[in-house]
Amino acid sequence: MWTYTYRAALFCLGVTVLACGEPVTQPSESSEPAPLTPSLSTTVPGTWRLMPYLVPARGGMAASVTDKSIVVIGGWVFGKILRRVDAYDLETRTWRRLRPLPEPRVMAGATTIHGKIYVAGGESQIDDPADPRFGDRVFHKSLFVYDPGTDTWSRKADMPRPGWALQAAVLGRLYVYVNGSFFAYSPRIDRWVTLRPPPSRHDLGVMAEVGGKVYLTSGITEATANADNGELDVYDPATGAWTVKSPMRLPSTFMTATRMHGKLWVTSGPSDFVARPDFQGYTKNRGVQVYDPLSDQWTDGPPMLTSSRQGASVYASGRLFVLGGTDTDGYVTGVVQALSTSY
């Protein structure tokens, strides 16, 4: 079950292995943050710290920030797709459970607009043994909205097409990239519109808002191809036009992207970083790449403490948080790491 026709098979392989009962990364006994700084040389200064672990460990989830909490939504562990939703209180450094998703989902992003969290699309699987399609993957076009004030979920207008939805919000509108298509959603009128697609494909890539524009990069160029796409495509909602900027040096799939200090931060990359002598700052998917819109240049960031492929990242309380995903051995992890930097 869960077979892909392209390199997304790496994701499915992780699910299959975990379903067989392989170990997951276990939390430490202490929930106090531990200061750790990687010894690898970097261009951008910064310090990563371990934060209280996410339990249960998971990958393929979405995360966003509302009020003073980081909210983690859905995902998978041991081959099971989750409805679970948890919130990390940034002041008390503690986790609590919230009302679960209406349906289990593995997803690519979550976005907060006017205090509510929007999660579009995603994937599940048929888990009824009596169904002849048992084990088949199902892609969705649903749009769920979480209201932290009432701890409730509601369903809004479906996306025009199903699939993994990369998300970003600009001026109260939700922008979504799904397998070569680009859409915008207005919460005020609960309606989607189809926009001009980016110049190239970014399937299984990343998307984030920086300076009022939508940045889309990494992933693969075509659904049946095996080539990573390093092109950086930038969409300006004011003009409706796409611009191609300087490409990433080391693109991959299942990375994370977040805005911090006016720059685009992309974490976790290809597993062959260590084989590249010109990128000594990277090893085993711990790489961080930073794009500066003012200079149109990419810079190496401080390597993470551990890999977070298929994880999630957010900007909160002046720090970049990277949550869960799979570690350097490919096992699902509950590690939460936060980066402090002035860059």
Q: How confident is the model at residue 184 (pLDDT cuts 50, 70, 90)?
A: very high
Query: At residue 314, what is the residue type?
Result: V
Q: What percent of the chain has pLDDT over 90?
A: 66
Which of the two residues, 148 and 41, has the higher pLDDT score?
A: 148
Distance between CA 113 and CA 216 in Å, rounded? 19
Nearest of 188, 191, 190, 164 to residue 176 by alpha carbon: 164
**Residues 106 and 60: beta-carbon distance below 8 Å:** yes
Looking at residue 160, its pLDDT comes to 97
123-137: pLDDT as tens digits:
999 887 787 777 788
Across the range 132-161, mean pLDDT stands at 94
Task: Give the residue carrying structure tokens 């479906």.
Answer: 158
10 Å Cβ neighbour count for 284? 20
- Whether residue 34 has pLDDT greater than 90: no
Q: Write down the pLDDT at residue 9.
A: 39
Segment among 17-31, 243-257, 271-285 with least mean pLDDT: 17-31
Length in residues, the chain: 343
Average pLDDT score, the chain: 85
pLDDT at 3 exceeding the cut of 90: no
Say what the pLDDT of residue 31 is: 46
The answer to whether the CB of 87 falls within 8 A of the CB of 96 is yes
- Give the lowest-confidence range in 1-5, 102-106, 294-298: 1-5
pLDDT band at 21 (very low <50, low <70, confident <90, very high): very low
DSSP β-bridge partners for residue 95:
88
The pLDDT score that the predictor gives to residue 226 is: 62
3-state secondary structure 272-318: CHHHCCCCCCCCCCCCEEEEECCCCEEEECCCCCCCCECCEEEEECC
Please, are residues 99 and 85 in contact by the beta-carbon 8 Å criterion?
A: yes
Looking at residue 4, its pLDDT comes to 34
pLDDT in tens, 229-255: 899 999 999 999 999 999 998 888 889
207 vs 45: which has the higher pLDDT? 207
Mean local confidence (pLDDT), 108-117: 96
What's the mean pLDDT in 147-168?
A: 97
The pLDDT assigned to 13 comes to 36
How high is the pLDDT of residue 327? Answer: 82
Q: Are 280 and 40 spatial neighbours (Cβ–Cβ below 8 Å)?
A: yes
Render pLDDT for 40-89 as a digit per residue (tens, 0 to 9). 445 788 999 999 999 999 999 999 999 899 999 999 998 899 999 999 99
pLDDT at 49: 96
pLDDT class for 223, splitting at 50, 70, 90?
low
Alpha-carbon distance values, 9 to 118, 226, 253 (Å): 27, 11, 11
Domains, the chain, in order of start with CATH, read 9-340 (2.120.10.80)
More confident site: 135 or 179: 179
Chain centroid, CA 297 distance in Å: 22
* pLDDT over 80 at 16, yes or no: no
- At residue 225, the pLDDT reads 61
* Residue 176 CB-half CA count within 13 A: 32
* Comparison of pLDDT for 312 and 285, the residue scoring more: 312
Position 277 scores a pLDDT of: 44
